[in-house]
Amino acid sequence: MTGTARAGVAIAGAAESDLGVTGRSILGLQAQAISRALEDAGLTLADVDGLATTGVSRFSATQVADYLGLRPAWTDSTFAGGSAFEMYVARAAQAIEAGQCSTVVISYASNQRSARSRSLAGVVEAHTPEAQFETPYGPLYPISYYAMAAQRYLHRYSGSREALAEVAVAAREWALLNPAAFRHGAGPLTAADVLAAPMVSTPLTTADCCLVTDGGGAVVLTSLERARDLPKPPVRVLGYGERTTNTSMTAVDDLTVTGAVESGRAAFAMAGLTPADVDVAEVYDSFTITVVLTLEALGFCGRGEALDWIAGGRIRPGGDFPLDTSGGGLSYCHPGQYGVLLLVEAVRQLRGECGARQVPGAEIALAHGTGGILSTHATVLLGVDR
């Protein structure tokens, strides 16, 4: 997908549900996120005729629509892991432009921490072809797979675990500026702290891994023309791209190169932008290695250069490349699929609503989701309305 930037659709509302340990149901958190996002947009449920969501049940969009009393003209419940919500932005924009619907809510929520539903067991479905090759080794899902990518990356490029730890250290610095972050009161993190944390799957420790929390979020999309009449400044959808690459790692030729290469290339081409135009980036940080691979794939630096590129505080508050400004999945919130919260933070940054963590003068934001085990990749570029 390349070509002219799509300037006719905007995000008009964005909000989180309660986060952390909520004791609420999945549908309760979904309703909370959606109602808050609609209020932020100055709209109501009666305005919604499109819905995209996943992670609720077998028929997620149907379930949420029924719970909220909606009869949408358009739905999407594509399950692609953490990148699904950036994919939904593309499909929602296309549906709005095609006249299938006028107002789309993209939402997600999980109560995985309260419900203690997160498990590292039962990872490879027995009927799949890769099971015979992977199950005998007892991999933890998905940590062992990302750990293999990290091990290969550090070996190939002579990188150190200390350098990789900078991703987690920077995320914590941002979280300390975000009162909603799960680790807001935990204090600073050092590279030594990351390395000293319990090892989960070599070379990744618990501090290299995302949080396990409740939470969720929602964004509201409509036409740019209509969004201009609503209370908040519209955030334009400038470009998007996606790529699906692999279901497992059995047949992956190179663990250090991801489908973000193609998804990013398509998004930048559609928007008529380059990586140098991005003022703030919200990149899926399921693990520290995810960020490193994604930054290289999106073209912010060359292959094998990311660890040096992020050193010296570049991605911390005050650095010249603001990254994961909410604190990310590593220190802010990670309810199982984090992609919708990348969009929420990107919108807030472009509106200038982020308080102590606000990036001055931010006009272009990138949100990039990664799903599965480096399996699905989706990039969205957003911009202020000028």
The residues annotated as belonging to the active site are 284, 332
Contact 31, 18 (CB under 8 A): no
Contact 364, 273 (CB under 8 A): yes
Do β-strands 280-283 and 364-371 pair in parallel, antiparallel, or remain unpaired?
parallel
**Total Cβ atoms within 10 A of residue 87:** 28
Name the phi and psi angles at 291, rounded to 5.
-65, -45
Do β-strands 215-223 and 103-110 pair in parallel, antiparallel, or remain unpaired?
antiparallel
Structure tokens at 376: 């699905």
d(CA 13, CA 41): 4
Contact 191, 162 (CB under 8 A): yes
**Total Cβ atoms within 10 A of residue 65:** 18
Q: Strand pairing partners for 108?
A: 217
Contact 217, 344 (CB under 8 A): yes
d(CA 324, CA 354): 12
Q: Strand pairing partners for 378?
A: 242, 369
d(CA 308, CA 299): 15
d(CA 23, CA 130): 37
Name the phi and psi angles at 8, rounded to 5.
-95, 0
Q: What's CA 75's distance to the chain center, in Å?
A: 20
Structure tokens at 60: 């997620």
Nearest Cα to 282, choosing from 207, 198, 370, 353? Answer: 370
